[in-house]
């Protein structure tokens, strides 16, 4: 379990690293059935057959003290299934909408990485050049040169950032009281001033949200437009993703339909009660502030994997894991035996015990935990969202169950 200080950083930077553990430690899955391959990079091992009973059981038993609701959407040539469980509103008892808008947290990083890779494809930036060349004065002056590619695949070694009361103590009580508080990307980046590097750039991998605040500013500097504008013009509008966007910094709303997000907070008298945190500042921005829907995330991942957004040379970076150690990264902590990296320039990789490799991204904001994963050949794609009532990761049990029923028992990709 993380300390209070580390929970504070996780909340402040919207880091969803611990959630990948749910995918790589799933319980046993139903018996396998062969899945068709449809591309040169097709899945080379059988996927488990979709078992409606097991899938329904994976999200059953809601609401409870830890999770109020869940949804799961499975598509692809190997079968379809969708379901919801629990409630979307504790007061009315209304169910979870299957087409709910969700706060996708760090899945936003996949959009950010795609934009940066597009700029590289246009020869407007060089992934091997220091980001300081393009953004002079943005990073603290004492930090060494860090390449753009190292930002994207989390091998930069940048500091996590100093702890400060302005960003809270990591408690549900602080967030519930300060959920509309906002910070600029530069304010977040400035937290690195005076802090030591985690490791020399390029020598290891550690999941760090700081990388993607810098990447978002890079997009804005090179294009001359806002990050939100570039997401809209380059990704969501061309793909028809009508429910995916970067909220304005002063817009805490979550469009309907949606499930409300809650946090259980403790009152001064020691009693606990749920606080609705559906409306919250989207300040994590290019690192973790976007809003989407299951259908839109499915369409985005499909287009990305099929090469509609990137040319082959840059698309390959989405599926290339650097051959470096994992430096105490919660995102790759289940690769501890191998001790190797598991993330690419935008995605992460896990592998099932039946040989199926899965690529995707997790995301988390208070009240919302989500993920979008797929096999490389898109024969199976899943998007999930659950609504946890705490910041301790107790929703992992449901993610484990969904992952196991969807892909099989997942094991470290480095093994």
CATH for 118: 3.40.710.10
**Which of 337, 10, 274 lies closest to 160 in space, CA to CA?**
10
Domain that holds residue 374: 4-411
CA distance readout (Å), 144 to 137, 185, 209: 12, 20, 18
- Token pair, residue 182, equals 């906002």
Residue 273's H or E segment, with its range, is strand 272-276
Interatomic CA distance for residues 62 and 402, integer angstroms: 14
Cα dist. 134→124, 126, 218, 224, 397 in Å? 10, 10, 7, 13, 43
> Based on the number of CB atoms within 10 Å of its own CB, is 243 exposed (0-12), middle (13-18) or buried (19 or more)?
middle
CB neighbour list of residue 326: distance below 8 Å, 6 or more residues apart: 204, 205, 206, 332, 333, 335, 336, 339, 340, 341, 342
Give the span between the Cα atoms of 414 and 349, in whole angstroms: 9
pTM above 0.85, yes or no: yes
Contact yes or no for 108/286 (Cβ under 8 A):
yes
pLDDT along the chain (415 residues), means of 10: 40 41 38 31 70 96 97 97 98 97 98 98 98 98 97 97 91 97 97 97 97 98 98 98 97 98 95 97 98 98 98 96 84 58 94 82 98 96 98 94 84 40
Between strands 47-48 and 67-75, the pairing is unpaired
For helices 210-223 and 108-121, angle between their N-to-C axes, nearest 10 degrees:
40
Q: In total, how many domains does the chain have? A: 1
Report the pLDDT value the prediction gives residue 350, as an integer from 0 to 100.
Answer: 85
């Amino acid at each position: 379990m993380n300390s209070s200080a580390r929970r504070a950083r996780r909340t402040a930077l919207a880091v969803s690293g611990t959630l990948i553990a749910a995918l790589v430690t799933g319980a046993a899955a139903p018996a396998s059935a062969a899945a068709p391959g449809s591309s040169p990079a097709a899945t080379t091992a059988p996927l488990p057959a979709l078992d409606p009973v097991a899938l329904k059981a994976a999200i059953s038993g809601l609401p409870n003290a830890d999770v109020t609701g869940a949804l799961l959407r499975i598509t692809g040539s190997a079968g379809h299934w969708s379901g919801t469980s629990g409630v979307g509103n504790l007061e009315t008892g209304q169910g979870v909408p299957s087409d709910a808008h969700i706060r996708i947290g760090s899945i936003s990083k996949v959009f950010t990485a795609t934009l940066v890779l597009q700029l590289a494809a246009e020869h407007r930036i060089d992934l091997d050049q220091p980001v300081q060349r393009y953004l002079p004065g943005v990073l603290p002056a004492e930090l060494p040169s860090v390449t753009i590619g190292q930002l994207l695949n989390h091998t930069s070694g940048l500091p996590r950032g100093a702890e400060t009361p302005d960003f809270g103590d990591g408690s549900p009580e602080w967030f519930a009281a300060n959920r509309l508080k906002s910070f600029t990307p530069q304010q977040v980046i400035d937290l690195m001033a005076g802090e030591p590097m985690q490791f020399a750039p390029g020598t290891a991998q550690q999941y760090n949200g700081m990388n993607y605040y810098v990447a978002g500013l890079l997009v804005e500097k090179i294009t001359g437009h806002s990050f939100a504008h570039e997401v809209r013009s380059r990704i969501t509008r061309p793909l028809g993703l009508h429910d995916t966007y970067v909220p304005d910094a002063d817009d805490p709303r979550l469009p309907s339909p949606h499930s409300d997000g809650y946090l259980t907070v403790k009152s001064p008298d020691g009693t606990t009660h749920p606080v609705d945190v559906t409306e919250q500042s989207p300040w994590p921005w290019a690192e973790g502030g976007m809003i989407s829907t299951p259908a839109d995330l499915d369409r985005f991942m499909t287009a990305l994997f099929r090469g509609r957004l990137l040319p082959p040379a840059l698309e390959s970076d989405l599926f290339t894991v650097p051959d470096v150690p994992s430096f105490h990264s919660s995102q790759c902590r289940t690769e501890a035996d191998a001790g190797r990296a598991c993330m690419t320039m935008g995605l992460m990789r896990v592998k099932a015990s039946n040989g199926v490799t899965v690529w995707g991204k997790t995301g988390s904001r208070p009240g919302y935990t989500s993920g979008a994963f797929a096999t490389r050949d898109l024969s199976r794609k899943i998007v999930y969202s659950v609504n946890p009532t705490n910041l301790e990761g107790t929703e992992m049990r449901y993610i484990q169950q969904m992952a196991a029923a969807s892909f099989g028992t997942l094991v470290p990709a480095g093994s």
